[in-house]
Every structure is written in structure tokens, then in C-alpha cells.
Amino acid sequence: MQKMLLAVDRFSTGCGKFTAWAVLLLTLLISWEVFSRYVLNKPHAWVLDAQIMLYGVLFMMAGAYTLAKNGHVRGDVLYGFFQPRTQASIDLILYIVFFLPGIIALTWAGWDFANASLAIREQTFNADPLPVYPFKFVVPVAGFILLLQGVVEIVRCVICLQTGQWPSREQDVEEVDVDKLKEMVHVKDSDIEALDVYVTRKGGAA
């Protein structure tokens, strides 16, 4: 079971990391358009639409990745003080009552909207139109991946209720924890203070 949960985590993570390249594309596109507009005096009508669609892809595909890393913001400040079984009970109720209906509706409606857009070969409204329908299919795809990850999270809640401990997750990039960094390199606060004094004295002597 744990292998299956981690496999879905890796899938969600891979999708998120792949679409994260949209950040680089956005940066290059915006930089090029600023140069073209203000230096070459040649603006392009389609660039704004392309920026919006790329940002939409980035935003939609980040949902499952963030859920796989347990990175979504929680509104309850007391949640962290609860025992794992209490946390799992709360999460399980919220997943069933809110998450599943919402994501299923998003995926279903997104599929209908994408197919309707494909049927008419929908384009943007400007002098240089871009096709919209390929990007509208991102909605049901992102919804399905998020739904798959949500099912995995529900299974984790059930396991936690049975064992009293949260199942492990795959680790990814995290913010630097200064205290953990000190432990890794075996540095104490007294060592840092001594180094500060040494640097100050050397600076004064110079």
C-alpha cells in the first residue's frame, strides 16, 4: 500500500516539476516582449494572452504537487496541536464533504468546457489569435491528477486512524531551517559568537 501511495506522490511531483518550466517560459517571454516593445518598438498583441495561459497552466498543475507535499495552507491554527488521529479525522471529513465533490465537479465541468472549445476551435480575440482549446484541456487533466492525489490523501487518513501515525511522504525541496542546519554541521551558538568576536577584533586591528 505504501508503495502505491508513494508512486502517486511521485507522479504528482513529476507533473508539477514538468509544468514548473512554465516559469522559465514566462520569464523569457515577458523579457523578450519588454525588449521588443520598448527597444524595437514592435509590441505583439498575442503575448499577453500567452502569458495568461502559461500562468494558468502553472497554477492549475501545482495543485496536486502541493497536496502531495502537504503544502496547502491550513486555516485552523489549532490543527498542529492535535494528535495525529484527530488530525486524520478532521482531514477525512473535509476531504469527503468538500474536496471530493468540488474536484469531481471541476474535472467534469472542465472536460465539457474543453470539448466545447475544441468543437468550435476557440481562439483569442486579438489581431494575432492563439488557439484556446489546448489550454482548456489543462483544467480536466489537472483536476484528475488532483483527484487522484486526493484519494491517496484519504487513504493516508484511514491508515493514520488505524495506526495513530501519518504514513511517510517523499521529501522535496524545503525552506532552510537554521537550527537543523546547525545540527548538520555541528555548530553551536557559542561557536558563532566566538567567530563574531574574532572577526570584530581582526577588523579593529586592521
d(C-alpha 104, C-alpha 168), whole Å: 26
| CA–CA distance, 51 with 42 (Å, rounded to integer) | 17
DSSP per-residue letters across 119-151: HTT-B-SSSS--B-HHHHTHHHHHHHHHHHHHH
Q: What is the pLDDT of residue 150?
A: 94
What average pLDDT does range 42-51 have in this prediction?
A: 89
The predicted model scores a pTM of: 0.78
Q: Which candidate, 17, 16, 5, 1, places its Cα nearest to that of 153?
A: 5
* pLDDT over 70 (residue 87): yes
Mean pLDDT of the chain: 86
User: Distance between CA 10 and CA 16 in Å, rounded?
Assistant: 10
pLDDT digits (tens, 9 = 90+) for 106-164: 999 999 999 999 999 999 888 888 899 999 999 999 999 999 999 999 999 999 999 98
Chain centroid to CA 112:
25
Residues in the chain: 206
Helix axes 2-19, 138-163, angle to 10 degrees: 150
pLDDT at 105: 96
DSSP state of 72: S
Cα-atom radius of gyration of the chain, to the nearest Å? Answer: 24
> With contact defined as beta carbons under 8 Å apart, do 10 and 170 qualify?
yes
Residue 192 pLDDT more than 80? no
* Residue bearing the bigger pLDDT, 77 or 51: 51
Look at residue 187 in the predicted model and tell me its pLDDT.
67
Three-class SS of residue 76?
coil
- Looking at residue 199, its pLDDT comes to 60
Q: Which pLDDT value is given to residue 2?
A: 78
Alpha-carbon 113 to chain mean position: 24
- When pLDDT is cut at 50, 70 and 90, the band that residue 204 belongs to is low
DSSP single-letter state for residue 78: T
Span 18-30, mean pLDDT?
92
